[in-house]
């Protein structure tokens, strides 16, 4: 196999995962390969296709993708062809005659081709040794780019009797299981490598001046090739018009353009005749332009699968490249509108959940590449990338003490547990059927909110000190550096956050006498303002006042039910009452 690799592709060694997939194909076993963008997925079925002889049938979702693949194979001296709806009849018939004569090793077709009776008859006359599903996530209804035609063709393809190889860069656990079920691929024939790309720097920018930022970036990178993704055709056209006004050379791509214009614009970009492409997500699948130095998302995508696949078109040559995400609340509302038009309620709920994950990506303080890795494979060991927005942002809170407490607690539990259990034990919540209450670390962080503890756990996870397998946490060996060598762990945490509303959980009992005083203050205020007392503060909030006894506005604002208006207009009276009460007891 290495001889084929060297002869036709010029590489000495296979990349991670390629060799295993090739072996499965040669052995006649169906397999699934989940490799990162730019990870050499096509080689996984092309090399065994050459070794097996006969014909390899490749199911591909896009005409442009077929053409690029066939051009690349032909350039390497490998006989390949494609059949699609844009070909002239005479050209298609010539290819069919060549197929019957065994002149081609690879045939690329779209799934819709199987709807034609004459094509299915043609296949019955060919020596098909291997079937490949390129961009296999399109098969799954749980995938971000689901194509019903792709799924519907599976039965007809499987009836050909040849082993299948499915390859994709983006497959969550649900998508992977769906593909395996449809193509009858066993667990031991699934090869999944890390989506980590060391040369990519992921950045998030919530700027309100998107246009200005994009123009400035392009002018600062005049010799670099880049893609700017926008959600709608209208937005693509608007950006294009603006670029023309500022004399920024570019081209555009969206489904509303005539096919010949799309092809012309794509060729100009791929051939480096134009360095900037403004496009919707209709552009890019299978485009193997290796020198894209940046990908800017002008709008928030609908899910992390789409974002990773589109952003991953940067830096396929292994050189440092940037993936920049701009977003606004308006982007979220637009995606919610699109999702709302989905007819299938199950699919709609799934899309809502994926959009929420996408939004969380823009707000996380953890490593951005680590967040993507964790989304696709939650069991992969994580480490900071050192290049993304969050890794470069200086952490301002020393959580070394909290880290030692959490790691010590997890070690003393002597078994992997989910984060909910760890959080409850460290906060001192009871476990009637466990012995955790006898641990020296039980209740060690009872003064912390669940949200804060989860943030500390995330920091340990994303820095590689904790692993999460099957939803259960365990201490990684590298944690010894923290426990024994007094290594400092920094994170982003603010015990008092103006934008947070904290629900207080405490073992402190309510001071009934103070509660009665506060009720009188509330009643007096209500009478003065001629409004019902509960509209000032609920009994729940007064109970929290009586428990925590806040004596400053800052302390007051941490309590549930206290907003900015009430902090200014009502709280001074309650603070005065609490201080007065404290001097009398």
Q: What angle do CA 516, 518, 520 make, to 5 degrees?
A: 75
How far apart, in whole angstroms, are the C-alpha atoms of residue 55 and residue 163? 12
State phi, psi for 57 to the nearest 5 degrees: -95, 125
Cβ count near 94 (within 10 Å): 13
CATH code of 394-491, in short, is 1.10.10.10
How far is C-alpha 182 from the chain's CA centre? 24
pLDDT at 280: 93
466 burial type by CB count under 10 A (0-12 exposed, 13-18 middle, 19+ buried): buried
DSSP per position, 178-232: HHHHHHT--GGGEEE-----TTEEEEEE--S-HHHHHHHHHHH-TT-EEEEE-SS
Domain assignments of the chain as residue spans, ordered by start: 2-192, 200-328+358-374, 394-491, 512-582
pLDDT at 328: 85
pLDDT band (50, 70, 90) for residue 585? low
Reply yes or no on whether the pLDDT at 497 is more than 50.
no
- In the Cβ-directed half-sphere of 144, how many Cα atoms lie within 13 Å? 24
Structural contact between residues 67 and 106, judged by C-beta atoms closer than 8 angstroms: no
pLDDT band (50, 70, 90) for residue 502? very low
512-582: CATH, from 3.40.50.720, 1.10.150.80, 3.30.70.330, 3.40.50.1000 = 1.10.150.80
The CATH architecture of the domain made up of 200-328+358-374 is 3-Layer(aba) Sandwich (3.40)
User: What class is the 2-192 domain?
Assistant: alpha beta
| Its pTM surpasses 0.85 | no
Q: Which of 176, 53, 59 is nearest to 114 (CA)?
A: 59
pLDDT band (50, 70, 90) for residue 142? confident
DSSP per position, 279-302: E-TTS-TT---TTEEEEEESS--S
Q: What angle do CA 40, 109, 148 make, to 5 degrees?
A: 90
pLDDT at 213: 92
Percentage with pLDDT > 70 across the chain: 95
How far apart, in whole angstroms, are the C-alpha atoms of residue 578 and residue 559? 15
Q: Do domains 2-192 and 200-328+358-374 have the same CATH topology?
A: yes
How far apart, in whole angstroms, are the C-alpha atoms of residue 456 and residue 224? 39
467 bridge partner residues: 474
Q: What's the rounded mean pLDDT across residues 322-342?
A: 90
CB proximity list for 537: less than 8 A, separation 6 or greater: 522, 545, 561, 562, 566, 570, 574
277 bridge partner residues: 227, 251
Reply yes or no on whether the pLDDT at 415 is more than 90.
no
SS3 326: strand
Reply yes or no on whether the pLDDT at 263 is more than 50.
yes
How far apart, in whole angstroms, are the C-alpha atoms of residue 525 and residue 570? 8
User: CA-CA distances (angstroms) from residue 255 to 106, 240, 259, 318?
Assistant: 28, 15, 8, 30
Reply yes or no on whether the pLDDT at 3 is more than 50.
yes
Average pLDDT, the chain: 87
How far apart, in whole angstroms, are the C-alpha atoms of residue 239 and residue 519? 59
Structural contact between residues 458 and 366, judged by C-beta atoms closer than 8 angstroms: yes
Q: What's the rounded mean pLDDT across residues 552-558?
A: 84
CB proximity list for 572: less than 8 A, separation 6 or greater: 553
Report the b/e string of 517-535 with b at 16+ CB within 10 A.
bbeebbeebbeeeeeebee
502 bridge partner residues: 559
Reply yes or no on whether the pLDDT at 55 is more than 90.
yes
Longest dimension (CA), the chain: 103
Give the helix, strand, coil percentages of the chain, each rounded to 5: 50, 15, 40
How far apart, in whole angstroms, are the C-alpha atoms of residue 474 and residue 85? 54
Query: What is the DSSP code (8-state) at residue 8?
Result: I
């Amino acid at each position: 196999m290495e001889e084929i690799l060297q002869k036709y592709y010029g590489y000495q060694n296979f990349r991670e995962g390629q060799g295993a997939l090739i072996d499965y194909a040669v052995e006649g076993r169906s397999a699934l390969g989940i490799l990162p963008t730019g990870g050499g997925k096509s080689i996984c079925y092309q090399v065994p296709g050459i070794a097996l002889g006969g014909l390899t049938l490749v199911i591909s979702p896009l005409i442009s993708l077929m053409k690029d693949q066939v051009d690349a194979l032909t350039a390497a001296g490998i006989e390949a062809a494609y059949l699609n709806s844009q070909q002239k009849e005479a050209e298609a018939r010539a290819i069919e005659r060549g197929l019957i004569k065994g002149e081609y090793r690879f045939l690329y077709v779209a799934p819709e081709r199987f709807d034609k009776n004459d094509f299915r008859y043609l296949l019955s006359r060919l020596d098909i040794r291997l079937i490949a599903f390129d961009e296999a996530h399109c098969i799954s209804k749980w995938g971000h780019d689901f194509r019903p035609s792709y799924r519907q063709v599976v039965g007809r393809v499987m009836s050909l009797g040849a082993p299948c190889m499915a390859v994709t860069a983006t497959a969550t656990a649900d998508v992977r299981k769906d593909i395996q079920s449809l193509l009858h691929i066993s667990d031991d024939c699934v090869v999944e490598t890390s989506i980590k790309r060391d040369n990519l720097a992921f950045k998030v920018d919530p700027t309100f001046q998107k246009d200005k930022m994009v123009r400035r970036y392009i002018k600062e990178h005049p010799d670099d090739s880049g893609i700017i993704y926008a959600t709608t055709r209208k937005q693509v056209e608007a950006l294009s018009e603006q670029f023309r006004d500022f004399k920024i050379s570019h081209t555009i791509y969206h489904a509303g353009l005539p096919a010949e214009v799309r092809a012309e614009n794509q060729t100009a970009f791929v051939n480096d005749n134009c360095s900037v492409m403004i496009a919707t997500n209709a552009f890019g699948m299978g485009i193997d332009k290796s020198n894209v130095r940046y990908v800017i998302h002008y709008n928030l995508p609908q899910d992390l699968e789409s974002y990773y696949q589109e952003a991953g078109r940067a830096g396929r040559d292994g050189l440092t490249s940037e993936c920049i995400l701009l977003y606004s609340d308006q982007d979220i509302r637009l995606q919610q509108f699109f999702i709302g038009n989905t007819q299938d309620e199950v699919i709609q709920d799934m899309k809502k959940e994926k959009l929420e994950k996408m939004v969380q990506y823009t707000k996380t303080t953890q490593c951005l590449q680590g967040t993507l890795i964790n989304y696709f494979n939650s069991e992969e060991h994580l480490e900071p990338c050192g290049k993304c927005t969050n890794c470069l942002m200086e952490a301002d809170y020393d959580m070394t003490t909290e880290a030692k407490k959490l790691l010590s607690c997890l070690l003393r539990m002597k078994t992997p547990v989910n984060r909910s259990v760890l959080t409850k034990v460290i906060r001192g919540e009871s476990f009637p059927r466990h012995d955790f209450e006898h641990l020296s670390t039980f209740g060690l962080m009872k003064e912390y909110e669940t949200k804060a503890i989860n943030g500390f756990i995330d920091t340990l996870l994303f820095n590689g000190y904790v692993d999460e397998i099957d939803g259960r946490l365990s201490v990684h060996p590298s944690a010894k550096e923290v426990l024994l060598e007094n290594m400092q762990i920094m994170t982003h945490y603010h015990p008092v956050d103006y934008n947070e509303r904290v629900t207080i959980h405490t073992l402190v009992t309510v001071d009934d006498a103070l509660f009665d005083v506060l009720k009188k203050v509330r009643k007096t205020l209500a009478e003065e303002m001629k409004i019902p007392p509960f509209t000032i503060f609920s009994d729940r909030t007064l109970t929290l006042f009586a428990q925590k006894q806040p004596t400053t506005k800052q302390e007051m604002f941490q309590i549930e039910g206290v907003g900015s208006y009430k902090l200014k207009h009502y709280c001074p009276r309650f603070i005065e009452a609490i201080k007065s009460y404290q001097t009398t007891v």
